[in-house]
Amino acid sequence: MPKNQNKPKNAKTPWPTKAAMEQVYEKKLWGGNQTDFYSGEGSHRAAIVNPYLTEVTAFLTSFKNKITVCDLGCGDFNVGNALVTSAAEYVAVDIVPSLIAHNKEKFKAPNLEFQCLDIAMDDLPSADCAILRQVLQHLSNAEIQSILKKLSNYKYIIITEHIPEGSFIPNKDIISGQGNRMKKQSGVNIFEPPFNFKVEEEKQLSAVVLNDGKGVIVTWVFRI
């Protein structure tokens, strides 16, 4: 593991992720125009977004009473915005202050709240269900481990990851930022070392195979 991926000895020292993600939006590294925030085609391409929204909405609305949701890594909120009405309360979290400020102005609902947090370092909002949509794939193993330790506080977790098709060696480490593990022919699997995460129940909600051998975007729901 690169030495700059070790957690800082001073607990108040942030991970380098915040600066990296600020740069992603400032320099439009995921695309978009010059005046708005844009979380990439994975948050806007209908072929990717629509199957996800269909299945996640079905899950959230399957309960007799609406449940509370915490969206960890909400990005530009193009996707999360479509889920707000399916939740009793919806807390949307991201690490980039300017992005959260923008979202607060753009998206408003009585049951919607935005918070700016580093989900690897900070305490997470309470809820029945946590959503991490293509978030862990951009983080180092050390940060993922820190996040997973907190996810046991939720009853349900919905995780979406971009992974290679077929067999692959999971969880090759990366430096947090714009990219993911696909260039290393790897992807995040929370059940494999070094994470070895435990759940009571799991179900695959959707899988979108990308063109030209670019892998598959898979969404699971876990009961903790």
C-alpha dihedral sign at 96, 102, 103, 104? positive
- Using a 10 angstrom Cβ sphere, with 0-12 exposed, 13-18 middle and 19 or more buried, the burial of residue 7 is middle
pLDDT > 70 in the chain, percent: 92
pLDDT of residue 25: 83
User: DSSP labels for 95-158?
Assistant: S-HHHHHHHHHH---TTEEEEE--TTTSPPPP-SEEEEES-GGGS-HHHHHHHHHHHTTSSEEE
| Nearest alpha carbon to residue 73 among 1, 23, 156, 138 | 138
| Separation between Cα atoms, residue 95 and residue 147, nearest integer Å | 13
- In which region does residue 75 sit, left (phi positive, over 0), alpha (psi from -120 to 50) or beta (all else)? left
pLDDT of residue 205: 97
pLDDT band per the 50, 70, 90 thresholds, residue 2: very low
- pLDDT tens figures, 134-189: 999 999 999 999 999 999 999 999 999 999 999 999 999 999 887 899 999 999 99
Q: What is the homologous superfamily of the domain 14-127+142-223 according to CATH?
A: Vaccinia Virus protein VP39 (3.40.50.150)
**Summary mean pLDDT of the chain:** 90
Lookup result for tokens 């996800």: 52
Lookup result for tokens 């990005």: 75
**What's the whole-model pTM score?**
0.90
Summarize the confidence of residues 87-112 as an average pLDDT: 96
In the predicted structure, residue 34 carries a pLDDT above the cut 70: no
DSSP-assigned letter for residue 187: -
C-alpha dihedral sign at 87, 112, 219, 187? negative
Domain-wise residue ranges, the chain:
14-127+142-223
CA dihedral 79, 179, 24, 44 (to 10 degrees): -20
Buried b or exposed e, range 20-54, using 16+ CB within 10 angstroms: bbeebbeeebbebeeeebbbbebbbeeebbebbbe
C-alpha dihedral sign at 38, 41, 44, 48? negative
Summarize the confidence of residues 122-133 as an average pLDDT: 97
| Nearest alpha carbon to residue 150 among 117, 120, 116, 190 | 120
Summarize the confidence of residues 16-44 as an average pLDDT: 80
Lookup result for tokens 């714009």: 178
